[in-house]
Amino acid sequence: MDMKIAFTAGRSDMAQSAWAALIRRYGDVPEPEADVIVALGGDGFMLHTLHRTQDLPAPVYGMNRGTVGFLMNEYAEEGLTERLALAEEEVINPLSMQATSADGTEHRALAINEVSLLRAGPQAAKLRISVDGRVRLEELVCDGALLATPAGSTAYNYSSHGPILPIGSDVLALTAMAAYRPRRWRGALIPKTAKVRFDVMEPEKRPVMADADSRSVRDVVAVEIHSEPSISHRILFDPGHGLEERLISEQFV
């Protein structure tokens, strides 16, 4: 039985050229009818595809036509059906963000990598952090803070000196960006089942924006985040090159 493949690509010339070549070679079906969705682009496009197709049964196999491609496999036009047949699946759960803006409007979004809070003015942000309803840090003065999943721990979190998390770990990384006070605070590991809340102190003087996988909400006063186990993203990787291996390898370079 032939594998039914749906191809989707980013806007770059490199991604569009690969999309046309692969469709000529392997054909193309609508995504709801596909056995697998092949995404051509970079990590940003992969995140967009995972969010967009989360209600479809087909897993997503990415091929890198972008820059870093941490969530992608190497691009090759030949042997795609054989690679798909041998691919190994990783299942990840996103974070759910509920952000309340200064006018009382509530915004909801999902994040596969991380939810971040960033200062939106000239002065540092001032945040209070609670975990499961208990205040754990009364005041964090910083450029921002984020909560990252294991899959996203090598992205913005790692750039902010947060820890890399094994893909199967049941923890989230809570990391500060340019912490001023407490200056030596190194962040925390939070159980995956926990609910984390950020309250923005002095929001008029120190405005803050919240971001969930590049979907932004300005002028937030409170942000609540928890893992969403009811949603599962299925990602395919070539054997020996899955997220677990990549997360380990990233720590030895």
Residue 131 class from Cβ within 10 Å (0-12 exposed, 13-18 middle, 19+ buried)?
middle
Q: What long-range pairs does 158-163 form, CB within 8 A, spacing at least 24?
A: 158/250, 161/186, 162/187, 163/187, 163/189
DSSP secondary structure, 56-102, as one string: SSS-EEEEE-SS--TT-BPP-STTHHHHHHHPEEEEE--EEEEEEET
| Catalytic residue list contains 170 | no
Alpha carbon separation from 36 to 6, 52, 71 (Å, rounded): 7, 14, 16
Residue from 77, 80, 165, 68 nearest 114 by CA? 165
User: DSSP class of residue 252?
Assistant: G
* Active-site option among 43, 211, 213, 219: 43
DSSP 8-state assignment for residue 247: H
Do residues 136 and 121 lie in contact, with contact meaning Cβ atoms separated by under 8 Å?
no
Helix (H, G, I), strand (E, B) or coil at 220: strand
* 40 in Cβ contact with 8 (< 8 Å): yes
Which residues are annotated as catalytic? 43
